[in-house]
Structure 1
Amino acid sequence: MGAWGTAISSNDTHADIYGEFFDLYNEGLNVAEISKKLIVANQEIIDDSDDCNNFWFALAKAQWECKQLDKDIFDRVKKIIETDADLETWRKLDADEKDIKKRKIVLEKFLADLQTERPKPKSRKKKIIRQPVFEKGDCLTFKLVNGNYSGAVVLEAVKDTEYGYNLIASTRINQPAKPTKKDFENAEVLLLNYASWDNKQNVSWYLPLRHKAVAHLIEKVDNMDVELNYDRNTSMLGGVGDFDIWFIEVANKQFESEQTKEKPTSRKSINEFTRNKSKWKFW
């Protein structure tokens, strides 16, 4: 779910769906057409009981802001809130009861807002072109709670778009000394097996919504060659909006888990994500 707070908009799914909605809205598409496109394109999220509520909340909020809230969408959101289905999801994900109480207040206010009439629809905006915060091949390092350095490699930088995505791969670097370019070139990709993860590779598209708040935690130490190209539009890799949660905190949790649990049995080198295999030589 990738939540960083109890607000309706404080999670990765909401950020992605709401952002995609207004990308299309600002391109001139009508609300009904946009909604249909998003529903068709996001069936995996809709079928995910842990995350589907965030999809419907984002869609309802966007439609409401355009003064075109669909009755079926409203009824779906109303049922989710009035039956406490969303709160039960938070409990299932081990959320703190204090946060659940805050979430309940937020949901009730959100439902009340949806039942009010906006004075006028949100205006369409001219698209702003942004650049990604990292360059392709950047070797990024950050401190772990154990005092060691870890790191990640930027596999792609999508330029001249509204958000400026980077594709980032976490590594298994976990060492006292600040990593060098060679350390990154020889690194393995971080696979996750803590909690319920099953050897999941921690490689995601990074949408820098809150990057200014965490930029001081990250240092670029060098830049390495990345021969492969990645397309955000056709990629099956998911997106995240918080570097501190999805790269730093996840690394902390994985390495902490390995103190009492075997590390993943699978291995993936960073070379598998950076080098063109057709150029590899074996001797």
Structure 2
Amino acid sequence: MGAWGAAISSNDTYADIYGEFFDLYNDGLDVDEISKKLVLDNKEIIDDTDDSNNFWFALAKAQWECKQLDKSVFDRIKKIVETGADLEVCRQLEADEKDIKKRKVVLDKFLAELQTERLKGKSRKKKIIRQPVFEKGDCLTFKLENGNYGGAVILEAIKDNEYGHNLIATTRINQSNKPTKKDFEDAEVLVMNFASWDNKPNVKWYLPIRHKHIPHLIETIDSLEVQKNYDINSSMFGFVADFDINIIEATDKQIKSEETKPRSKTKQTIKELIKNKSRWKLW
């Protein structure tokens, strides 16, 4: 599980389940059929105490938006919220009390929302073919909370599909001067061990569905040659939809965490992600 904040939707599991729900919905499947499929396909998440609530929150939200909130799903959410079970999960994941209080407010509002009835169910969307917002190899920089520059590299750009996916590797760049192409070439990938993150390299497929509010935060510096090709259908990387939260704020949180907690011992470099291993041995 990757949690980014107090909001119901601020974690990878919610984003994945909610996104898959409406992918299937827009393909014409019924809400009940979609719900059963998601439950069957995500047993491991549902059985994970740390992540189970996020699955049910996403399913409940999607059903509610379609005006088809199942009573058993609602009752499950009501129990999670009213017993404080989700807040206890947050405590076990070492969230501070300030964030837990924010989470409680969010949960109470979420439950209240589910108890209201939408005037109209969400319409199915006709799939639109989109192009990625970044080109493969782009080196992106952005300002961090500490005033320094951070950076990310675009490992892949999937064209002519519904979302226009980019695969983004966040780096450990954290410097006062604007990074150069060489800085990106020599950079390490940001490996996250703050909060509940367990030494996870921050390499994610980016769905730019809310990207229109982001471009002013990002500058393209240069471009690297990415020799590797990444297949979205067979990769193990997760999906994110908020560049500011999942890339910029993630860097800020990891930097802040390292003031009191050692950085992860796991290391991965940008060169490892962009270069094919040579098949030739020199001697």
TM-score range, shorter chain: 0.7 to 0.9
* Corresponding position of 1:267: 267
1:34 aligns with 2:34: yes
Local SS of the residue matching 1:204: strand
Change (3 A) 1:150 1:111: closer
Change (3 A) 1:42 1:231: farther
* Corresponding position of 2:102: 99
1:147 aligns with 2:147: yes
Aligned-pair distance for 1:150?
A: 2.1
State how many pairs are aligned.
279
* Corresponding position of 1:252: 252
1:240 aligns with 2:240: yes
* Corresponding position of 1:207: 207
**Structure 2 unmatched ranges of 5 or more:** none
Report the aligned-residue RMSD: 2.8
Structure number with the bigger relative contact order (C-alpha 8 A, sep ≥ 6) is 2
TM-score with structure 1 length normalisation?
0.83
Local SS of the residue matching 1:132: coil
Q: Given residue 2 of structure 1, which amino acid in structure 2 is its aligned partner?
A: A
Local SS of the residue matching 2:247: helix
Q: Distance in 1 between matches of 2:12 and 2:200?
A: 18
Local SS of the residue matching 2:142: strand
Change (3 A) 1:271 1:80: same
Decide whether the 8 Å contact of 2:131 with 2:159 is kept in 1.
yes
Aligned 1:91-170 pairs, distance under 5 A: 91-92=91-92, 93-94=95-96, 96=98, 98-113=101-116, 116=117, 121-170=121-170
Change (3 A) 1:143 1:65: closer
* Corresponding position of 2:3: 2
Change (3 A) 1:68 1:194: closer
Aligned-pair distance for 1:4?
A: 4.8
TM-score with structure 2 length normalisation?
0.83
Local SS of the residue matching 1:277: coil
* Corresponding position of 1:221: 221
Aligned-pair distance for 1:282?
A: 5.6
Change (3 A) 1:215 1:5: farther
Q: Distance in 2 between matches of 1:148 and 1:282?
A: 41
Q: Given residue 54 of structure 1, which amino acid in structure 2 is its aligned partner?
A: N
Aligned-pair distance for 1:95?
A: 5.3
Change (3 A) 1:164 1:255: same
Decide whether the 8 Å contact of 2:64 with 2:114 is kept in 1.
no
Q: Distance in 2 between matches of 1:47 and 1:265?
A: 29
Decide whether the 8 Å contact of 1:67 with 1:120 is kept in 2.
yes
Q: Given residue 161 of structure 2, which amino acid in structure 1 is its aligned partner?
A: T
Q: Distance in 1 between matches of 2:107 and 2:264?
A: 38
Decide whether the 8 Å contact of 2:15 with 2:240 is kept in 1.
no
